[in-house]
């Protein structure tokens, strides 16, 4: 986790780079903003439109057909002498792992909010993901030209739902269809875009807005003074803040995560994009502002500064197969990588040659001779690297922390439509899992079926369509099934297990005593292991082997063979044999001991649940509420607006298959819904009894 964001003492080329992502709920305008940024920076000469399927970043056929971003796309442009590397991320909850992998390598982000809807469910999800990685953000309230758009309401939702401190630096000029520009509260000037013009004109604050602009500038100064010590000193001395002091304080508060600068505009009408780019340079960090990256080498922690002279270290965050070869996307944290050099895959210990280095513009590439600290590039050459792999200098190995991967929650059985395609299907599935770590492929031991698991129905639909269109394999797909879990409600203490095996030659001996109890981490079920054995009765390496054996046993629970979570195992005692004890023996003992302990414990079944936000016409509320209740939904809130109602409920994921069609039917096509994961919940006994084993 990044904790220190003070600039490095010496400047480097990385000071002129910004690595940022665009984050938001689906349909908030991320891709349109990305397109307008590229146009404003001169990287493209014609603005693409999502509804026309002509955008740079949504280049995949499925993205254009569905009108949503599915795959994180990297683009690059120049603005005011700075290189801006930008990643347009998906907004749909099923592709949140794409966002996770992007946030791991970004230095800053622009969070986009709809001026009518404010903070939406997936907005909250990506915001929490950015919190987890300590990524500084600025906010852009988009679509101010829409009917019902209101900056203050959107800002209030940022404050109330995200717990952030919004620092609003602009005031809209005009409302809804009459939105023509913004007032810059730092420079106290108006920026106005005329119809048909791609650039703005500056002028004085319009007289009708002068009093409101003065009030908001004063409020901004007071808020900043309350958060920044240097600004408070100046404010106490002069009862005001100068523009340089205000700008400096806004940057410091952004870097420390104590405030969020808020801008506004309409990306579709190309209003507010240039000031947004200026704000990216002014407030978001460069790679040189970041602390040295931390990794592990030889069991000890090491750091590498974002300096081209340091030993090379980079993290792979995305892998794709293209017509030009296998592309591995890298964030270079330290050192310099030159074309033709060899790098070390720190995970496998394999040395590979980098044949080409590319600056990526979505599906187009520009050849480069080298990449330096702070760069985001793609390379061709490494054959085994996957998302989360560290590539480093062969003489200076280092392993960086990979992005986390969420567990899949929905599975489908897949098989080739033609028997001759079985091998091609296996190859296609292996490639999919390689490109997207949140897709898991396994073989069902009982049925012999191949099972594909992912983050949701849409995630699996996209994967299957990619097999059909990208690999030319016809696929037969079974009905979706959710991924259940088993958890310990009441554990056991003092379970004894002796592993003794003699079959000629060296034998196996391991004696363990374990306690099992329920356990949660940060409010969610997980797994923990600890050893309290004293006196050297079980050496440390054997205790680690017991832990590994326990993890082996978590794959199948006693109720239905589902993975087990929500428990802590404590190794309390044990014994060894001078000749027959080994790590292998203690690993086996750990596995069999936990299996016995789980059979003796009280275990219950868990199922994934989601928070559903349904927007419906007022006359459809009763029908929707009844349908949610029939799906075992628990309504947690509702709000009303003229003509519509918004209902929030927690619903088991298993009950939501096919809900989109049912909702459209009940509301004459006018109802919409969004979801976000809400964890795991116990399955009622009446339902659990009817479920088949895994």
- The per-residue pLDDT for 445 is 67
Residues 494, 468 share a domain: no
- Of 183, 209, 180, 212, the C-alpha closest to 196 is 180
Residues 141, 108 share a domain: yes
At 99, give phi and psi (nearest 5°).
-65, -45
For the chain, how many structural domains are there in total? 5
Residues 239, 118 share a domain: yes
Per-block average pLDDT, block size 10, for the chain (694 residues)? Answer: 39 73 85 88 69 55 63 83 86 78 90 92 85 93 93 95 95 92 96 82 94 96 95 92 95 95 93 94 92 87 91 92 80 94 90 90 79 91 89 93 84 86 88 86 78 86 86 86 92 95 80 95 87 90 95 92 94 92 94 96 93 87 90 90 85 87 80 84 84 68
Give the angle 288-294-298 at the CA atoms, nearest 5°: 140
**Within a domain: residue 425?**
yes
Strand order in the sheet with 356-361: 350-353, 342-345, 390-392, 313-322, 325-334, 376-380, 356-361, 364-368
- The per-residue pLDDT for 10 is 40
Q: Tell me, what CATH number does 559's domain have?
A: 3.30.230.10
> Where among 368, 400, 432 does a domain terminate?
400
Q: How many CB atoms lie within 10 A of CB 589?
A: 27
**Within a domain: residue 313?**
yes
Residues 318, 333 share a domain: yes
Residues 457, 573 share a domain: no
- The per-residue pLDDT for 62 is 65
> Where among 274, 289, 304 does a domain terminate?
289
Q: Tell me, what CATH number does 343's domain have?
A: 2.40.30.10
> Where among 347, 378, 400 does a domain terminate?
400
Q: Tell me, what CATH number does 671's domain have?
A: 3.30.70.240
- The per-residue pLDDT for 277 is 95
Helix (H, G, I), strand (E, B) or coil at 312: coil
- The per-residue pLDDT for 144 is 95
- The per-residue pLDDT for 504 is 64
- The per-residue pLDDT for 145 is 92
**Within a domain: residue 179?**
yes
Burial 164-179 (b: 16+ CB within 10 A, else e): bbbbbbbbbbbeeeeb
Residues 179, 59 share a domain: yes
Domain that holds residue 165: 16-289
Instruction: State if pTM tops 0.85.
Output: no
Quote the distance between the C-alpha of residue 408 and its chain's center.
14
User: 578 Cβ partners below 8 Å, 6+ apart?
Assistant: none
- Of 564, 572, 548, the C-alpha closest to 497 is 572
- The per-residue pLDDT for 212 is 96
Quote the distance between the C-alpha of residue 295 and its chain's center.
21
Residues 275, 173 share a domain: yes
């Amino acid at each position: 986790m990044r904790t220190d964001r003070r600039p490095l003492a010496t400047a480097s080329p990385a000071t002129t780079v910004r690595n940022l992502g665009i984050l938001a709920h689906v349909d908030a305008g991320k891709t349109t903003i990305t397109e307008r940024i590229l146009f404003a920076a001169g990287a493209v000469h014609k603005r693409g439109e999502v509804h026309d399927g002509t955008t740079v970043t949504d280049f995949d056929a499925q993205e254009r057909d569905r009108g949503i971003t599915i795959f994180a796309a990297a683009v690059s442009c120049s603005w005011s002498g700075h290189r801006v590397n930008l990643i347009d991320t998906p907004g749909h909850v099923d592709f949140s792992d794409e966002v996770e992998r992007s946030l791991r390598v970004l230095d800053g982000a622009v969070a986009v909010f709809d001026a009518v809807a404010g903070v939406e469910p997936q907005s909250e999800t990506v915001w929490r993901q950015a919190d987890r990685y300590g990524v500084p953000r600025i906010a852009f309230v988009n679509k101010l030209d829409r009917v019902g758009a209101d900056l203050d309401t959107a800002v209030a939702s940022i404050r109330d739902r995200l717990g952030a401190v919004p620092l609003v630096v602009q005031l809209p000029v005009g409302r809804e269809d009459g939105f023509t520009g913004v007032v810059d509260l730092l420079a106290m000037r108006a920026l106005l875009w005329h119809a048909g013009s791609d650039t703005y004109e500056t002028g004085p604050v319009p007289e009708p807005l002068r009093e409101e602009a003065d009030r908001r500038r004063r409020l901004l100064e007071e808020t900043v003074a309350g958060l920044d010590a240097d600004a408070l000193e100046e404010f106490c001395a002069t009862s005001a803040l100068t523009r340089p002091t205000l700008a400096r304080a806004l940057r410091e508060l952004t870097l420390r995560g104590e405030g969020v600068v808020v801008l506004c505009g309409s990306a579709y009408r190309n209003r507010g994009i240039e000031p947004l780019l200026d704000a990216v340079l002014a407030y978001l960090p460069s790679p040189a502002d970041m602390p040295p990256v931390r990794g592990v080498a030889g069991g000890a922690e090491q750091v590498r500064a974002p300096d081209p002279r340091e030993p090379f270290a980079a993290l792979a965050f995305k892998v794709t197969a293209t017509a030009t070869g296998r592309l591995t996307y890298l964030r270079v944290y330290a050192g310099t990588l030159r074309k033709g050099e060899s790098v070390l895959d720190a995970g496998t210990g394999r040395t590979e040659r980098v044949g080409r280095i590319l600056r990526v513009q979505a599906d187009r590439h520009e050849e480069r001779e080298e990449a330096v600290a702070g760069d985001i590039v793609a390379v061709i050459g490494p054959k085994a690297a996957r998302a989360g792999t560290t590539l480093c200098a062969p003489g200076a190995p280092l392993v960086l922390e990979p992005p986390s991967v969420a567990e899949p929650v929905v599975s489908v059985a897949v098989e080739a439509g033609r028997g001759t395609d079985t091998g091609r299907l296996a190859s296609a599935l292996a490639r999919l899992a390689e490109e997207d770590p949140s897709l898991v492929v396994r073989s069902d031991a009982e049925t012999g079926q191949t099972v594909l698991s992912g983050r949701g129905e849409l995630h699996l639909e996209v994967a299957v369509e990619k097999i059909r269109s990208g690999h030319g394999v016809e696929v037969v797909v079974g009905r979706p099934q959710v991924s259940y879990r088993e958890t310990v409600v009441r554990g056991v203490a003092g379970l004894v297990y002796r592993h003794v095996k003699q079959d000629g030659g060296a034998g196996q001996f391991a004696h363990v005593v374990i306690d099992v109890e329920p356990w949660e981490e940060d409010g969610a079920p997980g797994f923990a292991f600890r050893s309290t054995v004293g006196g050297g009765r079980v050496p440390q390496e054997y205790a680690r082997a017991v832990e590994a054996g326990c993890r082996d046993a978590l794959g199948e629970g006693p109720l239905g063979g589902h993975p087990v979570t929500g428990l802590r195992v404590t190794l309390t005692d044990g014994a060894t044999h001078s000749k027959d004890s080994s790590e292998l023996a203690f690993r086996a003992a750990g596995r069999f001991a936990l299996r016995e302990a789980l059979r003796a414990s009280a275990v219950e079944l868990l199922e994934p649940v989601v928070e559903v936000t349904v927007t419906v016409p007022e006359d459809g509320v009763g029908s929707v509420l009844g349908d949610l209740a029939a799906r075992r939904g628990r309504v947690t809130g509702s709000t009303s607006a003229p003509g519509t109602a918004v209902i929030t409920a927690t619903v088991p994921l298993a009950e939501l298959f096919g809900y989109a069609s049912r909702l459209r039917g009940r509301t004459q096509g006018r109802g919409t819904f969004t979801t976000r994961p809400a964890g795991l919940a116990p399955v009622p006994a009446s339902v659990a009894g009817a479920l088949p084993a895994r």
